[in-house]
Amino acid sequence: MELVNAVWVEKYRPKKLDDLVLPESYRADFEKCIEKKNIGNLIFAGPPGSGKTTIARILTSKRGVLNHPSDNLLEMNGSSKESRGINFVDSTIEPFLKIPPAGKDTFKIVFIDEADFLTDASFKSLRGIIEAYHEHNRFIFTCNYISKIPDPVQSRFQTYMFKQMPIDFVVGYYKKILESENIKYNEDDIRFVIDGVYPDVRKGVQILQQNSHSGTLKINRNLSLTNEKTIISSVVEIINHIKNDELPKVNKNVNDILGVVSSEYDLDFRSIYSSLFFRNEIPVNVKIIVNKYTNSHGDCLVPSMHFMAMIFEMIKSLQEYKKLVGK
C-alpha cells in the first residue's frame, strides 16, 4: 500500500529506460544488458539529478539484470560516514562477495552511489577485491566527479558520462508530478525552481513537495527560492562584472554571498558546488577552483569560511586571467 505522504523523489523516480532521456548508444547498451541478464563493471558519471542513480537501480532490479536483488544486491552510499571508509569495505562488502550468488543469478552486484566520496584507502582495498572476486561479482559506481575515481579503478570499469537533463524535459517532468498529486501550479513557479537548482532535477522535486502542502504550489520568491539561488546568481554576476570591468559591483555580490553563508546553517554546500561546476556559463578556470574546494569540503572545519575562501580565490583567478588575455 502506497503511503499518502510518500517522498516524491522515490515515488516518481523513473522505473523504465523509456522514461529517461538517454543517448541512443547508451539506451542500446543498457537494453542489451537487460536482455542478456548480464553486465560488466560500470561507472555512471555526471551532474546531480542527471539519471545516474535511476539507471543503476533499473539495472539492478528484477526488471534489470538480477532475478533476486534482495539476495544478490548490496547498495550503499559512498558519502555516508558509515560506508565511505575502509572498515565498511572489509567488514561488509568483502563478506557479501564471498557468498555465492543465490537463485538463478550468476553474479552479485555491489552498487556504490556517490562513489567519488570514498577514501583513498577504500579505493585501494576495493581494487584488490574487484580483482579477487571478478568471476561472480559486478560493481556499479555513480559519481559527480570522475576525476575522483583513481585511474587503476577506472581501468576496470566501462564509464558512461551523463549530461544535464534538457530544461524542457524537466519542466514536463515536474508538471507530471504536480498533476499526479492534484497540485495546482503556475509554470513560472516551476521555471523559477529550475533556475535555482538546475541541473539537479532531484533537488527540484524536493522543493516542489516542500511547497505544495496546501494543494497549490506556493513559492515565496522573496526568499530567493533557496539561499543557494542567491549564491549561484551572485557568482555568475561576479564573473560578468569582472569581465566588464565593473569591479565596484563585485563587492556587493561578495557581501550578498557572505550574508547568506554566515547566517544559514543548513546550506547544502555540496549542491552549490555541483551547480557551479556543471553550469555552462562558469569558465574553466573557475570550475578548476570549484573542483578543488569540492574535494576538500569534507575535511574543512567551517564550511562557510571554506566556501568564502573559494570565492576570493575565484575572483583573484578571474582578475589575473583578464590581465593575461587583455580583455
Residue 1 is predicted with a pLDDT of 34
Q: pLDDT: is 160 or 225 the higher one?
A: 160
Residue 152 and residue 41 in contact, taking contact as beta carbons nearer than 8 Å: no
Question: Phi first, then psi: what are they for 108, rounded to 5°?
Answer: -105, 165
Over residues 104-140, the pLDDT tens digits come to 899 999 999 999 988 888 999 999 999 999 999 999 9
C-alpha grid cell, residue 170: 524537466
- The arithmetic mean of pLDDT across residues 20-34, rounded, is 93
Residue 3 is predicted with a pLDDT of 42
What's the predicted TM-score (pTM) here? 0.77
**Least confident range of 139-143, 164-168, 294-298, 319-323:** 294-298
Q: In this model, does residue 279 exceed pLDDT 90?
A: no
HEC secondary structure over 4-52: CCCCHHHHCCCCCHHHCCCCHHHHHHHHHHHHHCCCCCEEEECCCCCCH
Q: In this model, does residue 206 exceed pLDDT 50?
A: yes
For the chain, give the number of residues.
327
Residue 141 is predicted with a pLDDT of 97
Q: Which are the contacts of 148, defined by CB distance < 8 A and separation ≥ 6? A: 116, 117, 295
- The arithmetic mean of pLDDT across residues 172-185, rounded, is 95
Q: How far is CA 86 from the centre of its chain?
A: 23
- Strands ordered across the beta sheet of 108-113: 73-77, 108-113, 137-143, 42-45, 158-161
Count of helix runs (H) and strand runs (E) in the chain: 16, 5
- The arithmetic mean of pLDDT across residues 199-218, rounded, is 90
**Least confident range of 66-80, 254-268, 274-288, 300-314:** 254-268
In angstroms, the CA 52 to CA 165 distance is 11
Residue 59 and residue 20 in contact, taking contact as beta carbons nearer than 8 Å: no
- Mean per-residue pLDDT of the chain: 88
Cα-Cα end-to-end distance for the chain: 62
Phi-psi region of 46 (alpha: psi -120 to 50; beta: other; left: phi over 0): left
Residue 132 and residue 98 in contact, taking contact as beta carbons nearer than 8 Å: no
Over residues 225-269, the pLDDT tens digits come to 567 778 888 999 999 999 888 988 999 999 989 988 887 667 788
Q: In this model, does residue 321 exceed pLDDT 70?
A: yes
Residue 189 and residue 199 in contact, taking contact as beta carbons nearer than 8 Å: no
Percentage of the residues of the chain whose pLDDT score is greater than 70? 94
pLDDT bracket for residue 223 (50, 70, 90): low
- The arithmetic mean of pLDDT across residues 40-58, rounded, is 92
Q: Which are the contacts of 75, defined by CB distance < 8 A and separation ≥ 6? A: 60, 111, 113
Query: Which residues share a beta bridge with 74?
Result: 110
Q: Which are the contacts of 278, defined by CB distance < 8 A and separation ≥ 6? A: 47, 164, 199
Estimate the crossing angle of helix 167-180 against helix 201-210, to 10 degrees. Answer: 30
